[in-house]
Chains A and B, each alone.
Chain A
Amino acid sequence: MKKTIRRVGAIVLSAFILTCSTVDTTASEKRSYSYNYDYWGDVQDSPDLYSVCKVLTSSDFGLDKPLRSPQGLYVNGESVFICDSGNNRIIELKRTSRESLELVKIIDSVKGDIDKKEFSGPTDIAISEDGNIFIADKGNARILKVDSDYNFISQYLKPVDNTLDPSIPFAPNKIVVDTAERVYCIATGINKGLIKYETDGSFSGFVGATPASFDFTTYIWKKFATQEQLAKMVAFVPTEYDNIYMDYEGFIYACTGSVSIDDLKAGKADAVRKLNLLGNDILVENGVYYKDAFPVYGDLYMGDGGGYKGASYFSDVTCFDNDIYVCLDKNRGRLFSYDDQGNMVFCCGGNGNMDGYFRKPVGIDHMGYDLFVLDELDCSITIFTQTDFGALVFKAMDLFDEGEYEASQAAWEDIIKDNGNYDLAYIGIGRAHLRQKDYKTAMEYFELKYDDENYSKAYRQYRKIWVEENIVAIVIVLLLLFLVPMGIGRYKSIKREFDTADIFKVQK
């Protein structure tokens, strides 16, 4: 008896220790640097698609004065421009090797026929195809147009428009230039959309204002509120954009962080928009997700943690030439990348002082497939390059777009070996099979990752072929379904007639 008690005690104790130790291991489990969301919105660890190649600071460029709260980053060919807003200058760098940037020029003024030659807190720079340079000289309330040697050509001032409050100073913050040298500008305090200047520098209107979110209950409430209450309420105003990027096709990616979590979750606000020439949002949000579509607003979980809360705050966006775009989250220091359908490609980063972590990232741009991230507080540029895994993912996507379905499928299959939790890989394989008319396999892959649209495409073809092949059997079965019950009914009625017929009764 005593022995059994001791045994039971030992078992209980060991079980206790075991459970405790498993709890310990799960608690100390560390998330990987990169992650992705699956169909259910669960976080899935992922191998890195991008890794830090080098972090460069002022001393690496050999600057006399270190950078002070730089605001803008612009990449043009091999050149990298940093708007060193705190020091009222622009720094031009050149990429000499994979992990080094060399100082080319420090620009703090323009030449030519203009009174005020020095900059005052320049925040952005853009270069047109003709080589003319546009500088958002925020402190001087002007956009400067200079030639490649910084000779003054013209300047764009505050647009003359009746709807603009004359008391608000003009503060051009971010600019992009299209191939015809039309300038689109975000100005602080102006929420009517992007200010558009024509090629000759004349103001031609606002484009792409976010629709003001409107709530019926708030409307009713406003009807009954007093003046004081109304003054305290948040007005229905469109949100301002934080940053813009013009992609290789001339579409403008505009991002904003000043949107509420509720609006984001309800789909009433967009963190990123892709604007066409008319200013309409044409961003495709069609990612596979258990609700309508995969949400393109960064982190799905917005709980408090480590002093950071709220939704991701997109401070900048850049788009590769394969339509994959990367958004920069100022709030948690992360990069979020989406493909042209709105599926998340990868997410990485975080807040901190280590390489690959940020304190206040404000600008992102790309050179080829390399990413540059500018940190305002660290005054550093982080160069990200693709890992083998990342290169493989991009290759698989590019191959599919080129119509090389078999090669694309092979690449995706390699990707699955590295990351079995990568939903895009399964869908990629499925799509490759679909294009190769292997519908059955395609269906299996789509079903694994709940891609109903593509599944239906494959199934429609599969069903058509199946019906065509088995048309004879189908007709026979259908005929039998009708004929057999009819035959039985007929037989029964005849039998009944026999049974109840008078002649047979007479014989009884």
Chain B
Amino acid sequence: MFTSLISKENWQRYIKSLKFALYCLTHPLDGFWDLTHERRGTYAAANTILFLTIVIRIMKLRFTSFLFIQVYWEELNIITYVASIILPLFLFVIGNWALTTLFDGKGRLGQVYIATCYALTPYPLVQLPLMIFSNFVTVDEAEFYAVISLISMVWIAFIGILGMSQVHEYSFAKNILFLVATAFAMLVMIFLLLLFFSMISQGVAYFISLGKELLYRL
């Protein structure tokens, strides 16, 4: 990944595609159309946005004023915390692709991933200044924080929904329908994963106890 960035041409394309994320913020329909159809989005940029999102989310724990976020450090598990972003994201991407590919969706798996990551752009963009801002307010002004934070989330949802319709070339209604269906697909996948892991652990436990039993007998 990094070696490919060394060449000047690739680097410029990467920067350009990153800058294109800003364009998508304000022009979601046009932006997300070009993102896939004109190939103006790159994996590198998508990864960067996702990485920034995760980093900002972790940084928020430490650097947001305690008025807004109180962290019980003793029980914080950074891995599950990171997984709490990555896992739903990948479930969404896979679930969405798996469904839409059966119903005339034009987006490929990679394109769905890129579009989803691009839709996350408001998060680092809003939450980083908000994080700094939070240290300069009192409880009376806490509403500002809540509202701005909410705006960033609504913004993500807004451009994400529009983006998906552009990637798959869906009408608005069909797009909403498949987003709801994706939510169910995510639930089904979580269910299957849980089932799978519990089965595996049961199976492993069986063989372990079998082995123990054998060792006792020998």
Q: Which residues of chain A have a CB within 8 Å of any CB of chain B? A: 39-40, 290, 447, 450, 452-453, 455-457, 459-460, 463
Q: Are B72 and A456 in contact (CB under 8 A)?
A: no
Q: In the complex, how many angstroms separate the beta carbon of B75 from the nearest chain A beta carbon?
A: 9
Please, how many angstroms separate the alpha-carbon atoms of A39 and B73 in the complex? 13
Q: Are B66 and A453 in contact (CB under 8 A)?
A: no
Q: Are A455 and B67 in contact (CB under 8 A)?
A: yes
18 A-B residue pairs with Cβ-Cβ distance under 8 Å, sorted by A, are A39-B70, A40-B72, A447-B66, A450-B66, A450-B70, A452-B66, A453-B139, A455-B66, A455-B67, A455-B138, A455-B139, A456-B139, A456-B140, A457-B138, A459-B138, A460-B138, A463-B136, A463-B138
Please, how many angstroms separate the alpha-carbon atoms of A241 and B194 in the complex? 49
Q: In the complex, how many angstroms separate the beta carbon of B146 from the nearest chain A beta carbon?
A: 14
The 7 closest A-B pairs by CB, nearest first: A456-B138, A456-B139, A452-B67, A460-B138, A452-B139, A459-B138, A450-B66
Q: In the complex, how many angstroms separate the beta carbon of B137 from the nearest chain A beta carbon?
A: 8
Interface of B, helix, strand, loop or mixed by DSSP: loop
Q: Provide the residues of chain B in CB contact with A290, threshold 8 Å.
A: 70, 72
- A sample of 13 more A-B contacts (CB under 8 A), given A452-B66, A459-B138, is A40-B72, A290-B70, A290-B72, A450-B70, A452-B139, A453-B139, A455-B138, A455-B139, A456-B67, A456-B138, A456-B140, A463-B136, A463-B138
Residue of B72, B136, B139, B140 with most chain A CB atoms under a 10 A cut-off: B139
Please, how many angstroms separate the alpha-carbon atoms of A460 and B72 in the complex? 26
Interface string of B123-143 (1 = CB under 8 A from A): 000000000000010111000
Q: Nearest B residue to A463 by beta-carbon distance?
A: B136
Q: Provide the residues of chain A in CB contact with B138, threshold 8 Å.
A: 455-457, 459-460, 463
For chains A and B in complex, what number of residue pairs have CB atoms within 8 angstroms? 24
Q: In the complex, how many angstroms separate the beta carbon of B12 from the nearest chain A beta carbon?
A: 22
Q: Determine the interface band of chain B, counting residues with CB < 8 A from chain A.
A: under 10
Please, how many angstroms separate the alpha-carbon atoms of A453 and B140 in the complex? 9
Q: In the complex, how many angstroms separate the beta carbon of B173 from the nearest chain A beta carbon?
A: 35
Q: Nearest B residue to A41 by beta-carbon distance?
A: B72
Q: In the complex, how many angstroms separate the beta carbon of A152 from the nearest chain B beta carbon?
A: 59
Q: In the complex, how many angstroms separate the beta carbon of A73 from the nearest chain B beta carbon?
A: 41
Q: In the complex, how many angstroms separate the beta carbon of A62 from the nearest chain B beta carbon?
A: 55
Residue of A40, A450, A452 with most chain B CB atoms under a 10 A cut-off: A452
Q: Provide the residues of chain A in CB contact with B72, threshold 8 Å.
A: 40, 290
Q: Provide the residues of chain A in CB contact with B136, threshold 8 Å.
A: 463
Q: Provide the residues of chain B in CB contact with A452, threshold 8 Å.
A: 66-67, 139
Please, how many angstroms separate the alpha-carbon atoms of A122 and B16 in the complex? 89
Give residues 112-171 of B contacting A (CB, 8 Å): 136, 138-140
Interface string of B70-94 (1 = CB under 8 A from A): 1010000000000000000000000
Please, how many angstroms separate the alpha-carbon atoms of A463 and B66 in the complex? 17
Q: Provide the residues of chain B in CB contact with A450, threshold 8 Å.
A: 66, 70
Q: In the complex, how many angstroms separate the beta carbon of B134 from the nearest chain A beta carbon?
A: 12
Q: Provide the residues of chain A in CB contact with B70, threshold 8 Å.
A: 39, 290, 450
Q: Nearest B residue to A459 by beta-carbon distance?
A: B138
Q: In the complex, how many angstroms separate the beta carbon of B138 from the nearest chain A beta carbon?
A: 4
Please, how many angstroms separate the alpha-carbon atoms of A452 and B138 in the complex? 8
Q: In the complex, how many angstroms separate the beta carbon of B44 from the nearest chain A beta carbon?
A: 29
Please, how many angstroms separate the alpha-carbon atoms of A460 and B138 in the complex? 7
Q: Provide the residues of chain A in CB contact with B66, threshold 8 Å.
A: 447, 450, 452, 455
Please, how many angstroms separate the alpha-carbon atoms of A217 and B92 in the complex? 35
Please, how many angstroms separate the alpha-carbon atoms of A455 and B66 in the complex? 10
Please, how many angstroms separate the alpha-carbon atoms of A203 and B139 in the complex? 48
Q: Provide the residues of chain B in CB contact with A39, threshold 8 Å.
A: 70
Please, how many angstroms separate the alpha-carbon atoms of A453 and B67 in the complex? 9
Q: Provide the residues of chain B in CB contact with A457, threshold 8 Å.
A: 138
Q: Nearest A residue to B72 by beta-carbon distance?
A: A40
Residue of A455, A456, A457 with most chain B CB atoms under a 10 A cut-off: A456
